[in-house]
Every structure is written in structure tokens, then in C-alpha cells.
Amino acid sequence: MTAITPIDANDVVTRKDGNLVSDMGGEKVMMSISSGKYYNLGSTGGRIWELIAEERTLNDLIETLASEYDIQAEQCREQVVAFLEHLSREGLIHISRGV
Amino acid sequence: MQNEKKEWQAPVLEVLV
């Protein structure tokens, strides 16, 4: 299994192409064309997926989410990093190491 | 006026067929 290096604040995250995405009752459901796997991103995960349509640093992503949702930035960071690491394990996002 | 913030739900990637 490929080890995932923890995501740092200045790392740049962007989603990969090749997924069919649909909104279902406020949640985003997605199929990977390459693997044929189906995913449910949920509502918050769906918003994150929208935000990483363009390159964003983890810090930028957390700031945006903390401004939109009723959540403390640190708690948000912890949960978003875990989510992004899962997306990365599934090969759904690019992570470029920041400086 | 500050906009109402949305309720946060921890993001989870659920693998589904």
C-alpha cells in the first residue's frame, strides 16, 4: 500500500479529472471512470470537491470553509486533512508539496 | 450584517456497486 505523507498547510490540492459527479439530495455522488468505483462525498465533502476544482493550498481551503461553516479552523483542518488523505489514497486528487 | 454560517458536518468519503 502506498504511504501518504501528511498534508501541510502550504501544500496545493486540486482534484483530478475523469470523474462523473452528480448532486443527489444535497450530497455529491461520483463515479471514477478509470476504476468504476462509486463514491458519496456527502454535503461538506461535495463543497470541498467544488473548491478544489482549482488549485488551492490547504490553508486557503480551511479559511474558506471556516468562513462558510460554523466550525473552528483547527477542528476543520483536522477533519479536512483526514478527508483529503482518503481522497488521495483513492487517487482522486493531486497534492503538490508547498514551499 | 453577517451571513448565517452553514452547519458543519465532518466530511467523509464513502466508497460505494
Q: Is A56 inside a domain boundary?
A: yes
Domain membership flag for residue A3: no
What sign has the CA pseudo-torsion A73, A75, A76, A80? positive
Categorize the per-residue pLDDT at A90 as very low, low, confident or very high, splitting at 50, 70 and 90. Answer: very high
Beta A93-96 vs A56-57: how paired, if at all? unpaired
Q: Judge: A41–B13 Cβ closer than 8 Å, yes or no.
A: yes
Is A6 among the domain residues?
Answer: no
- The mean pLDDT value of chain B amounts to 82
The pLDDT mean for chain A works out to 89
Asked if the model's pLDDT at residue A51 lies above 90, the reply is yes
B6: which chain A residues are within 8 Å (Cβ-Cβ)?
A: 68-70
**Residues B1-17: pLDDT tens digits?**
556 788 898 999 989 86
CATH number at residue A57: 1.10.10.1150
SS3 A64: helix
Please state the rounded mean pLDDT for residues A53-63.
92
Look at residue A72 and tell me whether its pLDDT is greater than 90. Answer: no
From A40, A68, A80, residue closest to B6, measured CB to CB: A68
Instruction: Render pLDDT for A4-40 as a digit per residue (tens, 0 to 9).
Output: 567 889 899 999 989 989 888 888 989 898 888 889 9
Is A5 within the bounds of a domain? Answer: no
Q: Where are the beta strands (DSSP E) in A25-63?
A: 27-32, 38-41, 56-57
> What residue has cell string 461553516?
A69
How far off is chain B from A36, nearest CA to CA, in Å?
Answer: 9
Task: Write down the residue that cell numbers 455529491 correspond to.
Answer: A28
pLDDT at A4: 58
Name the residue range of residue A59's domain.
12-96
Please indicate, yes or no, if residue A1 is contained in any of the structural domains.
Answer: no
Q: Are A63 and A73 in contact (CB under 8 A)?
A: yes
